[in-house]
Amino acid sequence: MATKEDNYKYLSGFGSEFVSEDPRCPGALPEGQNSPQKCPYGLYAEQLSGSAFTAPRAENRRTWLYRIRPSVGHGPYTKFPKGFLTHDWDEQEPDPNQMRWRPFDLPKTPDVDFVEGLHTICGAGDPKMKSGLAIHIYSCSISMENRAFYNADGDLLIVPQVGPLDIKTEFGLMKVHPNQICVIQQGMRFSVAVNEASRGYILEVFGQHFQLPDLGPIGANGLANPRDFLTPTAYYEDMQNTSYQIVSKYQGGMFACNQDHSPFDVVAWHGNYVPYKYDLSKFQVINSVSFDHCDPSIFTVLTCQSEKKGTAIADFVIFPPRWSVQEHTFRPPYYHRNCMSEFMGLIHGAYEAKKDGFAPGGATLHSIMTPHGPDAKCFDFGSSEVLKPARVADNTQAFMFESCLGLAVTKWGLKTCQKLEEDYYKCWGDLKSHFTGMKL
């Protein structure tokens, strides 16, 4: 797939207005109004809405697309094989055990594209009610040829782990490498091309949108800076009289229709509802410089809030390279029981609290109120290390999808993938009593 460097940035935060036109068609953006009687170059005007028309101005999301053919020009939808993509959260009995998966398989055959390689691990909620989330793995070996995909159920936050993704969208082109992320928002059509067998993680939120977390006492600067989020530049292809398949994820099901032209025929666009990408190495870490721990929420890159203030349907949290300087403190992550569900993945390196067993391309799930924390080896080191300023997590990038919802694991996640470690609980088996007080 041809690529073109993205160069439009979030200059003043989410909600900003963006303007872009393909340089091959200067003046393609209408002046003065969104939908003139006749658009320049004989284009069609089409609005893509990501919020209710009547949403408050600060929350209203929409973009005007000026395209060669309107997206309505397609045949009827029919069922599309959905493989291991599911939102049936009752197909397995609830299981509160700590879970860890070995690295998920890359495709065993050379003919699996991004859509065909989607596998659901866990989730909760109902896309019909626009509430909840799902966590998927993608594993693909070939590019999507004359096929586009869109998600009618919600936003997709994509975390590549093996192999870069060339993503063609209605808004333009994005190249997303491991240690970068991208968000394709609800309803946006896209296609994924790969040059090698590729694998990664996906966080899907139903009917809501990701946003930057509030900074509170941190102040104006810190965490993910708005200017580091990149949106693509308009780039169109004029492919007529061809066979193109559009795959839709709708109410948890998969459907497909055919059309005789490329869906990536947008010559110009303007609005505040766009796909975007972000380089995790640009995250500005905030941390303790005295003693004890700040909560892991200080590592939040993006959040999707529930109706309960300060409680997330989903947070995307990273654990990047940083300095650790706390005094009189057990520096590794503390032992913990949480009212949130914590799903962790590893992009590369070795996670600081479990340097053995937790491998890149694998995952862990620690469910609501199920205890977890460092293994015995990490505890012994953290209890005896000389506390001087030290680098943490160099050459490593772990992340967490955290949610207030109780996540149900699918049959594929528990059984079919055959990657679940049955003896994960044993990593805490060597934790011994060091009690020195009076024994009763």
CB 336 within 8 A of CB 400: no
Of 242, 118, 302, 278, the C-alpha closest to 192 is 118
126 token code pair? 């109902």
**Active-site residue, 372 included:** yes
Does residue 17 have an active-site annotation?
Answer: no
Q: What distance in Å separates the CA atoms of residue 395 and residue 375, rounded to the nearest whole number?
A: 21
The one catalytic residue in 119, 209, 270, 372 is 372
CA–CA gap between residue 65 and residue 48 (Å, rounded) = 7
Active site annotation includes 177: no
From CA 154, how far away is CA 204, in angstroms rounded? Answer: 7
Listed in sequence order, the residues at least 6 apart from 283 whose beta carbon sits closer than 8 Å to its beta carbon are 223, 224, 299, 301, 318, 320
Dist. CA 120–CA 216, nearest whole Å = 35
Contact between 137 and 200 under an 8 Å Cβ cutoff? The reply is yes
Would you say 192 and 167 are in contact if contact means Cβ atoms under 8 Å apart?
yes
Q: How many residues does the chain have?
A: 440
* Residue among 237, 293, 348, 421 flagged as catalytic: 293
Q: Got the DSSP string for 335-382?
A: PB--SSEEEEEEEES--TT-TTT--TT-EEEE-TT--B---HHHHHHH
Active site residue 328: no
Q: What whole-number distance in Å separates Cα of residue 38 and Cα of residue 44?
A: 8
| 74: annotated active-site residue | no
Catalytic hit among 21, 342, 352, 402:
342
Catalytic residue among 74, 270, 366, 402, which? 366
Contacts with 422 (C-beta within 8 Å, 6 or more apart), sequence order:
none
Supply the residues annotated as catalytic: 293, 336, 342, 366, 372
